[in-house]
Amino acid sequence: MNKFHEHLSSCALEIDKNLESILKKKLVFDNILNDSIYYSSIGGGKRFRGFLTIETAKFFNANTQNALNIASAIELIHSYSLIHDDLPALDNDDLRRSKPSNHIKYDEATSILAGDAIQSLAFEVLSEPMKDISLERQLYLINQFSLKIGANGMVGGQIIDISSKKKDLTIKEIKQMHKLKTASLIGFSCKAGAIIGGAREEEIEAFELYGENLGIAFQIIDDVLDKTGDKDKIGKTIGKDELSNTKTYLSHFDEETSIRKAEEFCNKAISSLNIFDQLPENFINALEFITSRKF
């Protein structure tokens, strides 16, 4: 597992370096908006989503720079979602990635616009010319990206979360919320690497299913850490779920059972890749990383 952490950290640095290059090229004005974009886009975070894209792309021998750019676009979308999630109208959180949330560092209006600009930038990156990939595949990639982060994906999961504050959710409903809010983008992260690697349809679907199950496990553990984690390690305020009446697996199960449920989703994740003769170690180690992580 130490090697996995080293590999994940190394990949995060590579993505950050690429992101910084993208921002320097794309952000031409020297103003508070660009400062706000830099603040939340560079440094901090595990870059786990981008890591999965790069690893899947390697599995299918995809173009390295294409994979890195797509990973960067995915991490931009993740950063945009965190900026907006932290706003008073949503989660109202003052701390993110061990530093003040964007709207605390700047102001609410600037943070909203920064999130909007980051989302737009992600699509700009994805729509630029890519080597060794047909325009048809690139268009499919962008289309799937749109689906996974919109009303039928990440944003749709967020509205279920907001609406659930005043009512109970069944486990089935919580799973659906997790699938949309978190697992859809993680599933796409794996799917994207397969798409640009020229994978067959059934191979693309297998990796997307791997990512989705991994994503649900990730969210369950995230919710457990909100209750039991170390603020300094997690880098954000803990205990928010209970205070805001957010519905999680812990609304129905104790911590031990919730972790066991996460492990079950990890088992489903690896089972979805049974169509392949052999998998790189990182896809297997990612499962243990999810269930044992402290940050």
Statement: residue 1 has pLDDT above 70: no
Q: How far apart are the C-alpha atoms of 63 and 71, rounded to whole Å?
A: 12
Q: What is the pLDDT of residues 68-77, one digit of tens each?
A: 999 999 999 9
Statement: residue 212 has pLDDT above 90: yes
CATH code of 194's domain: 1.10.600.10
Whole-number percent of the chain with pLDDT over 90: 83
Statement: residue 283 has pLDDT above 90: yes
- Among 40, 41, 38, smallest CA distance to 30 is for 38
Mean local confidence (pLDDT), 164-190: 94
Whole-number percent of the chain with pLDDT over 70: 99
Q: What is the pLDDT of residues 120-146, one digit of tens each?
A: 999 999 999 999 999 999 999 999 999
pTM of the full structure: 0.94
**Computed from CA positions of residues 21, 24, 26, 31, in that sequence, does the dihedral angle turn out positive or negative?**
positive
Per-residue confidence (pLDDT) for residue 166, from 0 to 100: 83
Q: What is the 3-state secondary structure (H, E, C) of 265-283?
A: HHHHHHHCCCCCCCCCHHH
Backbone angles phi, psi at 96, to 5 degrees: -150, 130
- Alpha carbons within 13 angstroms on the beta-carbon side of residue 44 total 21
Per-residue confidence (pLDDT) for residue 100, from 0 to 100: 95
99 has which bridge partners?
Answer: 96
CA 136: distance to chain centroid? 25
Range of the domain at 50: 2-292
Count how many domains the chain has: 1
Statement: residue 290 has pLDDT above 80: yes
Q: What is the mean pLDDT of the chain?
A: 94
How buried is 250 (Cβ within 10 angstroms: 0-12 exposed, 13-18 middle, 19+ buried)?
A: buried
> Model confidence at 53, in pLDDT bands (50, 70, 90)?
very high
